[in-house]
Amino acid sequence: MTAPVDRADADQAWVAGRITAQRWSDGAVEPVTRAFPEEVPVAVVVNDENYAVMLASPADTEDFAYGFLRSEGVIRHPDEVDSVIRHLRPEGHVVEVRLVGEMPASARRERRLAGVSSCGLCGVESLRDAIKPLGRVPDGPAFDGNAVLRAMAGLRDHQPFNAVAGAMHVAAFAGPDGILQTAREDVGRHNALDKLIGALLRERVDPASGFVVMSSRCSYELVQKASAFGLRLLCTASAPTALAVRLAREANITLACLVRDGGFLLMTGAERMQMREVIANG
């Protein structure tokens, strides 16, 4: 039997970042510092060609490359890989895979990214393209913390598909009072948010007139979508990634996470949140 792997290695600092937030509960504010998972661009380079860039937890990236290429049909057996070299870069990770032979034509048609980096290491330019700078959303009136809890508490009533089949995320738009106005479900959290934004566009709803609550964790793509639409407040039931927090700060988005049990962690944009005594059921 293989011995357990000791994870306390050089990857540790990449996998989790410590962030200070404000814990809001029952009208009281308490600063807290805790670890949040990292997600970074991982560029997979095959035979000196940029193949794909994925956002992933930055540990075990060699295993990720093997598994990803097997799933994509690039390899079927580990003996088809001649070498794997991992480069740690400020932009993320580059995993260079050298195959024993050529890449299968079917895999090349399916996925390969055109072009080879001109900066001396394949994959670096594609890493830089993976996370583009976000536009800053405008300032505006403060939100009420009670409204955040009221909106999250109302999500269950707006999940008819989840009630029948389960495994569905929901994204919902609430007015300043926390009353939910529009909601959309999907098995993918980012798809649910896209559907909600599409519905709001079709209904010509001003994103500054309310905020979004979601049943999921908060990863980078949710912040990107919120920024593109002009949302000032994004609230999620579970934790954010460290990258999501950094992007929310960059985009001037107030990010409230772990919204539950009469409180939440305010990760960014504290100046936008008014807190009276927090009442979970509003």
Q: Which residues are catalytic?
A: 119
b/e for 47-84, b at 16 or more Cβ within 10 A?
Answer: bebbbbbbbbbbbebeebbbebbeebebbeeeeebeeb
Secondary structure of residue 228 in the 3-state scheme = helix
Give bridge partners of residue 186 from the DSSP assignment: 169
Between strands 180-186 and 81-89, the pairing is unpaired
214, two tokens: 């979601």
> Read out DSSP for 30-89?
EEEEEEEE--EEEEEEETTEEEEEEEE-SSSHHHHHHHHHHHTTS-SSGGGEEEEEEEEE
